[in-house]
Structure 1
C-alpha cells in the first residue's frame, strides 16, 4: 500500500485535516508541550493584579514568546506556535480593554471562545480577527515573535516571519536575529545600513529566543546507522543556531533518530542544557525511528573553553573576561569544528570498511 493510502488511514492525518493544520506533525509538538509545559497558555484570572501595569509585566515576562522554528516546512509546527502565542496576546489585549471599559469587547464572545479553545484545533484565523478588534495604542504590550526557517518555501502566515535559507550558514542565523529584533520582516537584504546589531547587543537592548524547535530530518535511506548520523549532524547545526539565538535559560526541542551513538550526542547536549530528555509522543508512528529531544535551561558552558585551553597551551583564552556575545561566537565555532571532525571520522570509517571489503 502506498504512502498516501497509509496517511489517509492514519488517525492523526485525518485529525490534522479536520482541525486546520497543515500536517499531522503538529500533534507531536502539542503532545510534547503538554508533557513538559515549555510554552504555557496565559490565564490572567489566576493573577491577583490591582492594575493593568502589573498584568502587562507578567504577560511580557512570562507569556510573550520569541520562538524560532527550524526546518519549518510545511509550517505545521509554526501553526501550533502561532496558536499559543496569539492566544496569550489576545488574552492580554482583552484584559487591558476590559480594565479601560472599552466598548469593543462587547461583541468578542470572550467566555465562549475560552471554553472551546484547544491547541488540537487551529484557531489562527479566529485569533487574528479578535486581535484586530482589540488592538490598542499601548507600546508597553509586547507582540510575540515567531521566525520560521527552511530551505524550502513555506506558505505565508501572518505573525510568522519566514526565512528561506540554510541553517548551517551564519548569514541565515544573522537574519533570524534581525527578525527577532524587528529589523527585517523576512528575507529582506541590505539592512546593515539601517541597523547595527552589535551596538544593540552592547546596549543590552536585544531579544533572544525563548525556545528553538526543529522537526527537520534528512531523506530516509533505510540504513539506520547512516540516518542516525545525518540526523545528529542536523541536531548539531541546530545547536549552533541555539548558541547564537537562544537566551540563557531557554529550551530546545528537536527530532532525533535513536541509535548506537545517541548517548554521545546527549552527553554533548548536557554541556549546554541542565536537563535533556528523550520522548516519543503518541502521535509519532510506532514503526518510525524518530523520537524527540527536549533540552531545558540553556547555558554557555565555560568547561568547553577550559578543555580547549588544556589542549592548546600556546593560544589560551582567558574565559573569565569573555562577554556573553563572545561566548556565543566561541561555542558556535566549536560546534562547527566538532561537526567537521565527526564528518571526517565517518568518511574514514566508510573508506576503511570499503577497503576491508575489497
Structure 2
C-alpha cells in the first residue's frame, strides 16, 4: 500500500493509529454510541459479546468503555468476549475465542465464561469478502447477520441491544421486518466514518423482546428458517383459494428509521484534510508510529511454508 493511497490519506486511518485502535472501524461504533448511548454508564454493561471481532477495534472500544471509563460496576464483575474464526492478538480485559459463531459449542463457551448469565449487549462488525456483485454480497451478508442473530437470541437478555453491519439493498426491508419481531425498535444508522460510497450501514436493534413461548435452541443440523420457525418470523406463505391455483404472498414488510450518526462536527470519511504549516512543523519532530497490532499467523502461512520448501507442487 503506497503512502499516497486513499487509506493512508484517510483521516480516520490516521486517527486510529494515533489513538491506538487497530482499525478505523472503531469510530463507527463510537459514533453509533454518540447517537444511541448503548455503551454509556447508565446501562451498567457487565456482559458483552463481540462477534466476528477480528482484528479487534470494536473490542478495544468496548474494553475502554467498560473498564477504563465506567465506574458503576466493579471490574471483576464484568466479562467481555470476542469471537472470530481468525486469530486475534490479545486485548486488555477481553477473552478472545477462535471459534465458529454458528456452532453450539461456541455458545456453551460464552455462557460458561458469563457464569450462565445472559449478555447486555451483542454486536457484529463482520462482513464477507466482497465480490463486487452487489446482489450476491448483500445476500451473503444477510446470511451472516442471521447466523449472528441466532447466537444473539440464545445469549442476549430481555431489553438488551444488538448492533450489526448490513449492506443496504432492495430487499433489506425484509430483514427489518424480521428483526422487528424480536426487538422493540429497529434503526438503520450510517456513521460519518463510514464512507458514503460504501453500501454498508449498521442496524441498531433496541429492546430485545422475543415471544414468551419461544425458546431458541442452536443446532448445526437445523436451518435458519427452522431455528426461527417458532417466533413468528414468517417469510413467504402459501395462500390457498378454492377458485384459483395457490399463490405466493409476501409477509409483512417494513421500513426502518434511517439516521446519520456522528454529527456535522465529525470528519467526513470521503474528504481529504490538509495540515496547516504550524501543524506540519510540530509533526516533523515526531517519530513514526509503530503498528498497533502485532502480526498474527494468517490461514495461508502453512501453505507458504510448504511452497518455500518445495513440498507444495501443482498436480500435472
User: Does the Cα contact within 8 Å between 1:240 and 1:331 map onto a contact in 2?
Assistant: no
Structure 2 unaligned regions, length at least 5: 236-316
Runs (4+) of structure 1 moved beyond 6 Å? 1-4, 338-342
Alignment of 1:317-356 (within 5 A): 319=213, 327-329=215-217, 335=224, 337=226
User: Does the Cα contact within 8 Å between 1:65 and 1:209 map onto a contact in 2?
Assistant: yes
Count of residues in correspondence between the two structures: 230
| TM-score, reference length from structure 1 | 0.59
Corresponding residue for 1:116? none
User: Does the Cα contact within 8 Å between 2:32 and 2:191 map onto a contact in 1?
Assistant: yes
Corresponding residue for 1:284? 194
Corresponding residue for 2:211? 301
User: Does the Cα contact within 8 Å between 1:16 and 1:23 map onto a contact in 2?
Assistant: yes
More strand by share: 2
Tell me: higher relative CO, structure 1 or 2? Use CA pairs within 8 A at least 6 residues apart.
Answer: 2
Q: 1:10 to 1:327 in 2, by over 3 A?
A: same
Alignment of 1:1-358 (within 5 A): 5-41=5-41, 62-89=43-70, 91-92=71-72, 143-181=77-115, 206-301=116-211, 319=213, 327-329=215-217, 335=224, 337=226
Corresponding residue for 1:349? none
| RMSD of equivalent CA atoms | 2.8
Corresponding residue for 1:196? none
Q: Give the match's secondary structure for 2:164.
A: strand
Q: 1:330 to 1:67 in 2, by over 3 A?
A: closer
Deviations, residues 49-70 of structure 1 (Å, cap 9, x unaligned):
xxxxxxxxxxxxx424211000
Q: What CA distance in whole angstroms lies between the structure 1 residues aligned with 2:195 and 2:144?
A: 21
Q: What CA distance in whole angstroms lies between the structure 2 residues aligned with 1:92 and 1:255?
A: 29
Q: What CA distance in whole angstroms lies between the structure 2 residues aligned with 1:5 and 1:141?
A: 41
Structure 1 unaligned regions, length at least 5: 43-61, 94-139, 182-205, 303-318, 320-325, 343-358
Q: Give the match's secondary structure for 2:77.
A: coil
